[in-house]
Amino acid sequence: MTAAARPARAIVTRVLDRIERGRVEIVERGRRMAFGPPDADLRAEVRVNDPRFWTASLRGSGPWGSAYADGVWDTDDLLALCRIGARELPRTDAFRGRAKPLIVQLQRGLRLIPRNTRGGARRNIAAHYDLGNDLFAEFLDERMVYSCARFPDPDSDLDEAQLTKLDGICRSLCLEPGDHLLEIGTGWGGLAIHAAGEYGAALRQRRSLARSASSPSSGSATPASPTGSRCSTSTTATCPAATTSSSRSR
């Protein structure tokens, strides 16, 4: 085991010792370590194929997922493992907050986190966003909304859940025709198109710095523009808040 893996392993196992809502068993070089109650309804086995698993676990979800893709570790039930992690987040976040000074020193000392240079930032942005629409269309809804959805009921599909979220945002803002909405980020324009088309809002947008797909050398995702016949229609929705027009800011 490398010098970096030893302290990382100690921190990770310390966190795993606090698991209460699932059972995780880690197998490394024939040795099995168990964490969480034996009778838990969710359980998963993690097989450590390379000591880099421990350092990757301290570097965040991105490096941890990349390590899985590279075969550094594997599991018999990835979904169950992620669900256990989601259940434990509130408690583990409190522990991580107390341990943050030690973790930060370890990350810096062992160079587990790359420096935030301009060149590194450009590479990271390209790796996350300049991937092409075909990839994102595989797991986003039809509007290509790139943020969490709000499911109105357990049987709702992703399209309905994203529409529920967009409409909820507009209703919470009490949007009416003539109101101005500033959207920073924009993405593919799902919120902008919904706010303009269904509520008649005027839009101001700030796009991200991802490379435009109109460039011949780029296959990046292109944020949509709220234009077309849908944006020319206007439907006034009932505002949930008791707000009069005279008190509104436009």
> How many domains are there within the chain?
2
Same domain, yes or no: 107 and 38: yes
pTM: 0.53
In a domain, 145, yes or no: no
Same domain, yes or no: 178 and 105: no
Same domain, yes or no: 9 and 99: yes
Same domain, yes or no: 15 and 104: yes
Asked if residue 227 lies in contact with residue 219, where contact means CB atoms within 8 angstroms, the answer is: no
Domain boundary among 113, 145, 177: 113
In a domain, 135, yes or no: no
In a domain, 144, yes or no: no
In a domain, 147, yes or no: no
Whole-angstrom Cα distance, residue 39 to residue 26?
17
Domain boundary among 80, 113, 146: 113
Range of the domain at 10: 5-113
Whole-angstrom Cα distance, residue 250 to residue 45?
55
In a domain, 214, yes or no: yes
Same domain, yes or no: 12 and 109: yes
In a domain, 130, yes or no: no
Same domain, yes or no: 36 and 103: yes
Domain boundary among 87, 113, 139: 113
Tens digit of pLDDT per residue, the chain (250 long)? 777 788 889 989 988 998 999 999 999 999 999 999 999 999 999 999 999 999 998 887 888 999 999 999 999 999 999 999 999 888 766 666 666 676 666 656 655 566 678 888 888 888 877 888 888 999 999 999 988 999 999 999 999 999 999 999 999 999 999 899 888 776 788 999 999 999 999 877 555 434 444 333 433 444 443 333 333 333 333 444 433 333 333 3
Same domain, yes or no: 196 and 102: no
Q: Is beta strand 43-48 parallel, antiparallel or unpaired with respect to 23-28?
A: parallel
In a domain, 136, yes or no: no
Same domain, yes or no: 27 and 97: yes
At residue 6, the pLDDT reads: 87
At residue 7, the pLDDT reads: 86
**Sheet bearing 43-48, strands edge to edge:** 31-35, 23-28, 43-48, 73-75
